[in-house]
A and B are shown apart, each in its own frame.
Chain A
């Protein structure tokens, strides 16, 4: 075999080799993409099944049929008109919107100080931030609940969820700091020489450059609030008027025991805004994930 190829003229040999290489590349392409399609089915089929079920009739949703016989788009209207659903939406938007805004305003200066100021105890402060970031919320929930319930009588409202965000969020501080480190200190020094105060340097020079990181933090925080279940369960569940979507969704299932179609429609209505937002801000989001996930 090898001897025959050696005797072949050079041009024929190279085209034969190229043909083998092309075939191998093609097979490789087929194999890799088959695996990718299988994986895509695993990731996307749940969405498809949920969507299909959400437009079935009540009776059909209880059967093993996969394809809806009569498309009941009215199910979405029914969910939308469920008493409370609009209130949950409004509450979730207030929690996520205000929470995100407060988080950015309070976390940015802290991140800036940790990234650009020299002071004693800076490493200690950074370690404390990371420890807070990794702290399960359940560790401190008992005293916090007692505080909000007994001292301020604010349980059953959204305030115990929102107010803490005015005091810096550890994860946001960490992410912003990681980004601010990548801004060369010359920018800060030039601004100082021009007579800018630190606050003006932060707002006029650093903030415009840090826009992608701020966008990522805003998205993360918005999603965190939107998805939060433990917080609303502890602090606001006692008052139905203060429920959020995550908490309400579960009770929706409770109220519609076997109506899987309505429950799935509600599930999609809660998921959709997150996904729409993601498509608008995909780039900032992916950048943010990589930023927290360390660059080696």
Chain B
């Protein structure tokens, strides 16, 4: 009797322990990765943000000097934030609207759906460096085919990547060209809208706009929200296209002795990630680079927390998985 009562909990405890060990074993690759490639570097970034360190001499404590430098003296910080805001407002909005429009267009097509879907999707696959170089060429004043066509049509031929007021619109066009990912997401969402709701709306005499406004949009609004938030997060990371476009348009690429300072032309393409590169790897100012990295982290996490809200549509049936 006494043996039995202690034996059961012991067996249960053993089972629990085994299950915990099993869970840990399955999670272990990621647990190590989380500690090593996320937690440790994050703590280290905070540490270095208070240090003066050029990568060679031992780091020395400088208090808030790096923070003061970045916010008050680094000439590109506020300009870069303004650029980012511009990209968030214009690029993300246009890309989401355009992606939704293209998704709607596909669902309305009766002939050649497969062809159009592939054609619209293909640019998304082009590697960013390749796509950016192609656009830099297409829009290149003087030799670019698009520049040439605009001239033939009697339209203005701006300097695009070489003109500070046209460089961000040119990047926006590049982003809209690669809208395939959003198109696919919106297409799937649009096909999920229950047909009966459209039929009911038609019986009530709703026109195409009213059907979109009162049936389509309410059904897909979580996906629109998702597209906007992930778009903002991607914009915070905006790096490759901006730096490559600047390098190609300015003609300063790589060669020995030459160093390309991002932002060309006139700082109009600076973004936060490029500042981390500029400060950390071109100016050897590790501390200030870490300050910018932390600003970037704070903004990204603020938007990520929006995604983690239940209603964002990002974690559908998930919360209680099994």
Contact = CB atoms under 8 A, between A and B. Distances in A.
B86 interface: no
Contacts of B19: 117, 119
A21 interface: no
A137 interface: yes
B48 A143 contact: yes
Q: Most B CB atoms within 10 A — which of A36, A42, A139, A234? A: A139
Interface string A249-268: 11101100100100110011
A181 B110 CA distance: 34
B93 interface: no
Contacts of A286: 184
A5 interface: no
Contacts of A106: 29-30, 33
The size bracket of the interface on B is 35 or more
A275 interface: yes
A32 interface: yes
B74 interface: no
Contacts of B244: 229, 250
B292 to A, nearest CB: 8
A49 interface: yes
B109 A33 contact: yes
Interface stretch (B2-10, B142-150, B161-169, B196-204): B142-150
B39 to A, nearest CB: 9
Given A112-B26, A135-B300, A63 B143 contact: yes
B128 A254 contact: no
Contacts of B85: none
Contacts of B319: 123
A167 interface: yes
A296 B220 contact: yes
Contact of A294 (B125, B223, B236, B248): B223
Contacts of B112: 33, 36
> DSSP majority for the A interface?
helix
Given A140-B293, A257-B251, A109 B318 contact: no
Interface stretch (B75-83, B133-141, B209-217): B133-141
Interface stretch (A10-18, A76-84, A125-133, A207-215): A125-133
Contact of B255 (A115, A146, A254): A254
A114 B27 CA distance: 8
The size bracket of the interface on A is 35 or more
> DSSP majority for the B interface?
helix
B63 interface: no
Interface in B301-322: 301, 303-304, 307-308, 313-319, 321-322
Contact of B318 (A141, A181, A233): A181
Given A135-B300, A167-B29, A141 B280 contact: yes
Interface string A1-41: 00000000000000000000000000001001101100110
B193 to A, nearest CB: 9
Contacts of B137: 50, 53, 260, 263-264
A173 interface: yes
B48 A296 contact: no
B226 A294 contact: yes
Contacts of B276: 138-139, 141-142
Contacts of B318: 126, 178, 181
A139 B45 contact: yes
A39 B105 contact: yes
Interface in A73-122: 106-107, 109-110, 112-119, 122
B136 to A, nearest CB: 9
B236 A136 contact: yes
Contacts of A49: 138, 145-146
Nearest to B233: A134
B189 A234 contact: no
A146 B53 CA distance: 11
A168 B314 CA distance: 21
A137 B300 CA distance: 11
B109 A32 contact: yes
A230 B239 contact: yes
Given A141-B276, A267-B134, A246 B129 contact: yes
Given A140-B293, A251-B253, A294-B313, A246 B127 contact: yes
Given A40-B116, A115-B321, A271-B130, A295 B316 contact: yes
Contact of A230 (B32, B130, B240): B240
A263 B322 CA distance: 52
B105 A32 contact: yes
Given A138-B293, A140-B42, A146-B286, 13 more contacts: A32-B108, A39-B116, A46-B177, A116-B322, A122-B321, A132-B34, A135-B297, A167-B36, A250-B248, A254-B255, A271-B131, A290-B184, A290-B188
The list of the 6 closest CB pairs from A to B, nearest first, reads A167-B33, A254-B253, A293-B185, A140-B41, A168-B30, A143-B44
Interface of A: 29, 32-33, 35-36, 39-40, 42-44, 46-47, 49-50, 52-53, 61-64, 66, 106-107, 109-110, 112-119, 122-123, 125-132, 134-147, 164, 166-168, 173, 178, 181, 185, 198, 223, 226-227, 229-230, 233-234, 245-247, 249-251, 253-254, 257, 260, 263-264, 267-268, 270-271, 274-275, 278, 282, 286, 289-290, 293-296
20 contacts: A50-B137, A61-B143, A110-B29, A110-B30, A134-B300, A134-B304, A142-B44, A146-B286, A167-B32, A178-B318, A226-B127, A250-B248, A264-B134, A268-B130, A270-B129, A271-B131, A293-B188, A294-B316, A296-B222, A296-B313
